[in-house]
Amino acid sequence: MSLWTAAEIAAATKGRATADFVVDGVAFDSREVGPGDLFIALTGDTTDGHCFLDQAFAQGAAGALVSRETQQPSVEVADTFAALEDLGRAARARVSGKVIGVTGSVGKTSTKEALFAALDRSPAAKAHRSVKSYNNHTGVPLSLARMPRDSDYAVLEMGMNHPGELAHLTTLVRPHVALVTAIAPAHTEFFPHEAAIADAKGEIFQGLEPGGVAIVPHDSPHRDRLIAAAKPYAARIVTFGLDRAADVHALEMARTSNGGTFVTARVGEHELSLTVSQAGAHWVSNALAVLAAVDAVGGDLALAGLALAELGGLAGRGARREIAVGEGSALLIDESYNANPASVAATLAVLGDQPGRHVAVLGEMRELGAKSADYHAGLAPAVIAARVEAAVLVGEAMRPLAQALEGTVDFVHVPDAAAALEHVSRVIAPGDAVLVKGSNGVGLARVVAGLSNGVN
Residue 106 labelled as part of a binding site: yes
Cβ(280)–Cβ(348) under 8 Å?
A: no
Provide the Cα torsion 109, 115, 121, 126; round to 10°: -90
Q: Which residue type does 186 have? A: A
Cβ(38)–Cβ(25) under 8 Å?
A: yes
Residue 343 labelled as part of a binding site: no
Residue 126 labelled as part of a binding site: no
The contacts of residue 413 (CB under 8 Å, 6+ apart) are 393, 398, 399, 402
Nearest residue to 102 via CA among 233, 13, 217, 244 = 217
Q: Strand pairing partners for 78? A: none
pLDDT in tens, the chain (456 residues): 799 999 999 999 999 999 999 999 999 999 999 999 999 999 988 889 999 999 999 999 999 999 999 999 999 999 999 999 999 999 999 999 999 999 998 889 999 999 999 999 998 899 999 987 788 999 999 999 999 999 999 999 999 888 899 999 999 999 999 999 999 876 666 788 889 999 999 999 999 999 999 999 999 999 999 999 999 999 999 999 999 999 999 999 999 987 899 999 999 999 999 999 988 889 999 999 999 999 999 999 999 999 999 998 778 888 889 999 999 999 999 999 889 898 999 999 999 999 999 999 999 999 888 889 999 999 999 999 999 999 999 999 999 999 999 999 999 999 999 999 999 999 999 999 999 999 989 999 999 999 998 887
Residue 372 labelled as part of a binding site: no
DSSP codes joined into one string, 191-206: -SSHHHHHHHHGGGGG
Cβ(420)–Cβ(392) under 8 Å?
A: yes
pLDDT at 131: 86
Residue 450 labelled as part of a binding site: no
Residue 313 labelled as part of a binding site: no
Model confidence pTM above 0.75: yes
Cβ(12)–Cβ(92) under 8 Å?
A: no
What is d(CA 87, CA 10) in angstroms, rounded to the nearest whole number?
9
CB atoms < 10 A from the CB of 31, how many?
9
What is d(CA 152, CA 11) in angstroms, rounded to the nearest whole number?
24
Cβ(50)–Cβ(28) under 8 Å?
A: no
Cβ(366)–Cβ(397) under 8 Å?
A: yes
What is d(CA 444, CA 25) in angstroms, rounded to the nearest whole number?
31
Cβ(425)–Cβ(451) under 8 Å?
A: yes
Cα torsion angle, 200, 204, 207, 212, sign? negative
pLDDT at 277: 92
pLDDT at 188: 62
Cβ(324)–Cβ(454) under 8 Å?
A: yes
Residue 326 labelled as part of a binding site: no
Cβ(105)–Cβ(183) under 8 Å?
A: yes
Nearest residue to 282 via CA among 353, 352, 371, 343 = 343
Q: Which domains can be identified in the chain, with CATH numbers?
A: 4-77 (3.40.1390.10), 95-310 (3.40.1190.10), 319-452 (3.90.190.20)
